[in-house]
Amino acid sequence: MANTAAMNNAFTAGHEDKHPKGLYVLFATEMWERFSFYSMLAMFTLYLRDPNEGFGWTAAEATSLYANYLMFVYLSPLVGGFIADRVTGYRKAVMIGGLFFIAGHLLLSFSSLTAVYAALTCLVIGNGFFKPNVSTMVGNLYPEGSHLKDRAYNIFYMGINIGAFLAPLVAGWVRSKFGFHPAFAVAAGGMVISVWILFQFKKHIHEPGRNLTAAAGATPTAATRSGDTAADTAATATDAPPHGVSHQDEAATRQGVMDAVPESRRIIALIVIFAVVIVFWMVFHQNASTLTYFADANTDWTMFFSPETAAESGGIISNSINPFWVITLTFPLVWFWGFLDKRGLEPSTPTKMAFGMTLTALSFFILYFAAKTGEATALGGDPYAFRVSPMWLVLSYFVVTLGELMLSPMGLSLVSKVAPIRLRGLMMGGWFVATAMGNKLTQIGVFWDRWLHSTFFLVLGLMALVMAVVLFLLLKPLKKAMPGV
């Protein structure tokens, strides 16, 4: 356990007008870890399908493995956070996770199906140890009530997306020049940098006693100590925006209005939100499977890249579009919510989520029209043999990213405010389970080669739209169950 003087020094740093050095250490640690993670994710399904360097799998086979991998990735912080909170401590857990990550990415640099499964196992374990605990360490740099903590999580979230933006660009270039296996080795190199940064500058990282702050998904007792801190920790553990992005007013919640609502009504309202989350992630996380297939086979990237790079790695590079829009849109959206809030016009959280689902549906309707346009001019009458402008994808990602920023940041913060205190940890765990279920259901991509691409996009768009309509229809009872949010 850290000595009292060290703890006081670290806490005092949080009261100053500038962030402690530890934030920038964790920013760089997380940025390079996400660089490695998203390098792998951008290439993975295309690698499995590649008949030369990979294994020549069908789209259905590759999508099924991708879906199972994502499900375990999003469940693993529940276990890793618990172990760190009770056994290892946060910094040691992050180092252990980093080593598993390095092993996983290195295994992918070998051409072996056994190595692939061993790699995925290492990456899931690594994610469980690394992600929730590096997020917790950010919160531990600041005392409760620090006005800098919200900004710290927003800065940290930018590190996630900078790494996610750079990863497909570098991976795509290395893939086009040297092949998949050297590109996976580059991902391992990014993880080496991440672990080295944390080890080299560990003196700047405060490690409180394990009983002071809960990791994401930890025990209910620990999770209740600070609702927003636990929510932000859990959010960034799953690469979701922290609650500060929503700019939601908490005054009514602090006044105890929520406590007047029966627990059963609040729990039912959260279950409705969980159902929405399942559909959202099922649709949204098509990005590294079917949207990557579409970008690779049906999008003409020669307007942006050389013919060689476009042909070899256009699908990989397309994975940079979403983090680009996240970086570009986050702070203007925060300003916009603040602008509305000052005028008493900021929508409630359920309303924002309904608009977020509507935008998610619209993004896939855009892709439906893109695919329809391509199918109408397909070569030789083959409805799958066409290429359309990449601007369709750029526009679709712009719209879905707006939807993500309206829906995702509010989710865990909503749980922290609405769930009864004695059930808050359990309900936060429910959010992780719902997220994992949504990622498992990305397996709907098995129909990519069985349906027309336009039909596939239309089905996903309609599913998102149905959930948006359900939310709009339930706004009145949801607002009654969630007053002040």
The predicted pLDDT at position 172 comes to: 95
Does the pLDDT at position 2 exceed 70? no
Asked which of 105-114, 124-133, 235-244 is least confident by mean pLDDT, the reply is 235-244
What pLDDT is stored for residue 155 in this prediction?
86
Q: Give 60-100 pLDDT, tens digit per residue.
A: 999 999 999 999 999 998 899 889 888 888 889 999 999 99
Share of the chain above pLDDT 70, in %: 88
3-state helix, strand, coil in the chain (%, to 5): 80, 0, 20
* Phi, psi for 299 (deg, rounded to 5): -125, 135
Q: DSSP per residue over 103-118, as a string? A: HHHHHHTS--HHHHHH
Alpha helices in 348-390 (DSSP H): 349-376
Q: Hey, CA dihedral for 375, 380, 382, 388, is it positive or negative?
A: negative
Contact 407, 360 (CB under 8 A): yes
Burial (0-12, 13-18, 19+ Cβ within 10 Å), 298: buried
Q: State the pLDDT at residue 355.
A: 94
Confidence of residue 210 (pLDDT cuts 50, 70, 90): very low
Average pLDDT of the residues in 110-139: 93
Q: Compute the mean pLDDT over every residue in the chain, rounded to the nearest whole number.
A: 86
Looking at residue 141, its pLDDT comes to 86
User: What pLDDT, on the 0 to 100 scale, is given for residue 5?
Assistant: 40
Q: What is the pLDDT of residue 220?
A: 37
Amino acid at residue number 286: Q
Q: Among 38-47, 343-352, 450-459, where is mean pLDDT lowest?
A: 343-352
Number of structural domains the chain divides into: 1
- CATH number of the domain that 33 lies in? 1.20.1250.20
Poorest-confidence range of 11-20, 82-91, 153-162, 171-180? 11-20
Q: What is the pLDDT of residue 59?
A: 96
Rounded distance between C-alpha atoms, residue 354 and residue 471, angstroms: 5
Say what the alpha-carbon torsion angle 95, 129, 162, 177 is, to the nearest 10 degrees.
80
| Residue 223: predicted pLDDT | 43
- Decide if 107 contacts 115 (C-beta within 8 A): yes
Rounded Cα distance between 31 and 163, Å, is 5
State the angle between helix axes of 149-178 and 21-49 in degrees (0 to 180), rounded to the nearest 10.
40
Domain containing 359 equals 4-481
Condensed to tens digits (0 to 9), the pLDDT of residues 392-430 reads: 999 999 999 999 998 877 677 778 778 887 787 788 888
The residue with greater pLDDT, 209 or 321, is 321
Q: What is the tens place of the pLDDT at every residue in 274-319?
A: 999 899 999 999 999 999 999 999 999 998 888 888 888 999 999 9
> In this model, does residue 206 exceed pLDDT 70?
no
Question: How much is the pLDDT for 214?
Answer: 41
What one-character-per-residue DSSP string does 401-457 give? HHHHHHHHHHHHHHHHHHS-GGGHHHHHHHHHHHHHHHHHGGGGGGGTTTS-HHHHH
Residue 458 CA to residue 185 CA, distance in Å, equals 37
Q: Measured between alpha carbons, how far is 142 from 19 in angstroms, rounded to an integer?
A: 9
